Structure 1
Amino acid sequence: MSRTLSVLFILVCYVIQGQSQQVDQDSIKNLRLNILPVVFYTPETGLGYGALGLSTFRLKGEELSTRPSSVQLGITFTSKKQFLMFMPYEFYLDEEKWRFKGELGYYKYFYNFYGVGMDSREEDKELYTADFPRFRLAAYREIFQDFSIGLGYEFDGYHVLEPEPDGLLDTSLDIIGKEGGTISNIGFLALYDTRDNIFHPTKGWYVEGAFYHSARWLGSNYSYQKIELDTRYYQQIKGNVILATNLFLGTRSNGTPFQDLNYLGTKRTRGFDNRRYLDKNEVSLATELRFPLYKRLKGAVFGATGTVIPSLDQTFKASYKGAVGGGLRYIVNKKEGTRLRVDYGISGDGGQFYFTINEAF
């Protein structure tokens, strides 16, 4: 278990699964709701408690053969007066010709900071607290089968940011964003998506490219650009055994605030402490084998490798870090395939537990 969770880890959940029903026929149909209470403890947060919820539905006029829209909601409080509220969403309209996805959130929480680069040291770890709202929106229009283009917007209001006094973040002169500020970016998007299911793909491709530019005319305190390429492939190799692969490339320009740098420790590289390694550029590769166990219970084993680097020309001579792990999934909605996910990933830096909804990628 990681140092962060070395004292005690408690995770208790159960599912309240709503029955399929038609609600407000003028707007929403086939609404299904799942609620998951959560309790946990870490030294940094103290006792934490809250709930995760997932609803799936189809909007007016959408056929049952189309992909379902979904809204997730997580609310967590801790005994140390921390608070998280996040609501990812995805909507499909006009027979999937329009797709909207994003997130609404508010975070008052602690985050780790080790410094920048793959040579950052474990002993330099410190915590900083941040209090900020978040808004994400990406709107896509299909221009031919399976291929869409769109616009995106990102907002984070880091106006309350408290580093440890005289710590690495507080005393570093070259860390952009340590004083707090507004991230306000507008982007151009392209998406190729042939997955057979958005919650548990068994075959197909998902390739998303994004270019974002910080928009001072929208209130950004920073001036930078970023490009991301997220490529996923799914293949059913035998029976219900699925091989999923995710290659991610991300690059940021000079002027990027440290809160928006690329980092290892995401769902792609499970096993690292969150934001353990961060820099302007990321190259990571993850693969996962998913297989049935018993009725609604599924299993998975995964591995990943990745690096963060100051410039892309160092890609092939950079130091790469690896992680492996496994986990369980429990299907809470057999019709749509939504599921609970519990994973444990191990790297050279220790291990991490993950408890959330749906697959990592």
Structure 2
Amino acid sequence: MTAWNRLAIRALSLRVALRVTVGVSLSLAGTPASVWAQAGSDSTVGRRRIQPLPALGSAPETGLQFGVTVLAVFDRPALDHARPASLIATALRSTKAQTRISAEGEHWTRQNARRLNALVAWQKFPLPFYGIGDATPERNKEIFTPKGIEALAGIQQRVRGSWYATGGIRLLDQSITADTIGVLRQGTLTGSDGGRLVELSVGALLDSRDNLFTPRQGTFAQVTYTHNDDDLGSPFQYDRVRLDARHYRALTGAHVVAAQLLLLGVSGDAPFDQLALVGGGDIMRGYARGRYRDQRLAAAQVEYRTPFAHRVGLVAFAGAGMVASEWDALTDARLLPTYGGGVRLQIDPQQRTAVRVDFGVGRDSSSGLYIGFNQAF
């Protein structure tokens, strides 16, 4: 694809996103199974809304994504003081011949004391692979296609105040085809042919955010331990520890500064596509997802959010990350900076839901356009 063609796609994506009106709901790729509205009815009877929506998204590793989403929201009675239950079914196709069909949902009990969530998905999703480490050159790029199903179920139980205990199980059963000649076709990397994963996870969560979609105050901090073992029916054995900490502070008016720290460590014999990855639409914007990967990742970002005009807001962000094979090796790892800006088009002022369009720049002429739903973090 020529540079002019890439520019045309980005311009079209931006134009489509910015022409979404407030009166039209838009679902975008990567929409989590989060609630779309807080329970606010004065009635003792909940409400139900089912709506088909267009789906649109963009990322460097996918190009433009398009499809359809069916959204069902079940408002709880106001007396329950609970967030609504939701179910989202999505079918997506990208300009890079990627297909994903998924259904995900969540349910909150009274007083938001417990959250149950689940997902099932099928995908055939060609992706790039550059190797392992922080210095893999662009010329090493290979294309591989994972094909299979993913299912997960999780629980979040309040312990006290804003503290929750979490647990979950994830099943991934896929085949992987190496589409180009390279390391993956040689079959020397763990997981190069695919296989089955059965992950069990436990964790702790602190969540004092004032809003799920666009927080202005509060803290979100979650630590999760995940284990995959051959005793669970998987040929792989590895562990993963993840720390995701975010803090939000309002300045004057609707001006907000948000910061995030992400630490991820993988030990054992993990498949290459389950290692710590750089890139994506939430952190390390400007790099294609998986542009760099290894067993350890440390990344941080800060974002300034400001209103601009009516329901349009602007953001500026900057961050950096590093990957290495061990924690102590991060001190000598290559720094991977990222910076950029974006636009937010508010859909629902009460719930602070919005369409986001970001453009990020990374190292070695890396860049990416991202279209998504709500804030990056």
> TM-score, normalised on structure 1?
0.87
Q: Which stretch of structure 1 is more off in the superposition, 117-126 or 218-227?
A: 218-227
Match of 1:95 among 111, 136, 150: 111
Q: Which residue of 1 aligns with 2:68?
A: 51
* Amino acid across the alignment from 2:339: V
- Whether 2:376 is the aligned partner of 1:360: answer yes
Deviation at 1:49, TM superposition (A): 3.2
Q: Which amino acid aligns with 2:25?
A: Q
SS at match of 1:315: helix
1:6 equivalenced with 2:6 (yes/no): yes
Q: Percent identity?
A: 24
2:330 to 315, 318, 331: 315
| 1:251 alignment counterpart | 265
* Structure with the bigger percentage of strand: 1
After the TM superposition, which residues 243-322 of structure 1 pair with which residues of structure 2 at under 5 Å, given as runs? Answer: 243-266=257-280, 267-322=282-337
Residue type at the aligned position of 2:137: R
Matched, 1:223 2:231: no
Pick the aligned partner of 1:199 from 206, 213, 216: 213
Pair 37,139 (structure 1): closer, same or farther in 2 beyond 3 Å:
closer
Letter in 1 for 2:203: L
Name the CA distance, whole Å, in 1 between partners of 2:118 and 2:5. 30
After TM superposition, the structure 1 = structure 2 runs for residues 77-96 of structure 1, keeping only pairs within 5 Å, are 77-78=93-94, 82-96=98-112
Counterpart of 2:33?
Answer: none
Aligned to 2:183: 168
Partner of 1:350: 366
Distance 1:32 1:303, change over 3 A: farther
Query: Are 2:53 and 1:35 equivalent residues in the alignment?
Result: yes
> In structure 2, how many angstroms separate the alpha carbons of the residues matched to 1:303 and 1:110?
29
DSSP 3-state at the match of 1:84:
strand
CA distance in 2, matches of 1:239, 1:120: 44
Q: 1:17 aligns with which of 25, 36, 45?
A: 25
Which is further off, 272-281 or 74-83? 74-83
Counterpart contact for 1:53–1:74, Cα < 8 Å: yes
Contact 1:91 1:99 in 2 (8 A): yes
Q: How does 1:44-193 map to 2 (within 5 A)?
A: 49-52=66-69, 56-59=73-76, 63=80, 66-78=82-94, 82-158=98-174, 160-171=175-186, 173=188, 175-193=189-207
* Contact in 2 for aligned 1:3/1:350 (Cα 8 Å): no
Offset, 1:73? 4.4
CA contact (8 A) 2:299 2:321 kept: yes
When residues 3 and 244 of structure 1 are mapped into structure 2, their CA distance, relative to the original with a 3 A threshold, is farther
Deviation for aligned residue 1:115: 0.3
- Give the residue type in structure 1 aligned to 2:219: W
Structure 1 unaligned regions, length at least 5: none
Deviation digits for residues 190-236 of structure 1 (CA, Å, limit 9, x no counterpart): 11100000111001000011001114344222111111010000000
Number of aligned residue pairs: 356
The 2-side partners of 1:268 and 1:214 are apart by 25
Compute the RMSD of aligned alpha carbons. Answer: 3.3
Question: Which string of whole-angstrom CA distances, capped at 9 and with x for unpartnered residues, describes residues 286-308 of structure 1?
Answer: 11111111121111111110011
CA distance in 2, matches of 1:222, 1:297: 47
SS of residue paired to 1:206: strand
Q: Secondary structure at the match of 1:117?
A: coil
- Relative distance call for 1:81 and 1:6 in structure 2 (3 A) is closer
* Structure 2 residues without counterparts, runs of 5 or longer: 27-36
Instruction: Report if aligned partners of 1:324, 1:346 keep a CA contact under 8 Å in 2.
Output: yes
Pairwise CA distance, 1:163? 0.7
The one-letter code sitting in structure 2 at the alignment partner of 1:51 is V
Distance 2:278 2:237 in 1: 23
Secondary structure of residue in 1 paired with 2:111: coil
Query: Equivalents in 2 of 1:321, 1:49: separation in Å?
Result: 30
Question: For residues 36 and 165 of structure 1, do their structure 2 counterparts lie closer, same or farther at Cα, with a shift above 3 Å needed?
Answer: closer
313-322 vs 49-58, which moves further: 49-58
Amino acid across the alignment from 2:131: G
Distance in 1, Cα, partners of 2:249 & 2:2: 32
- Which runs of 4 or more aligned residues in structure 1 lie more than 6 Å from their structure 2 counterparts after TM superposition? 1-5, 20-23, 39-42, 44-47
**SS of the residue aligned with 2:269?**
coil
- Deviation of the 1:239 alpha carbon: 1.5
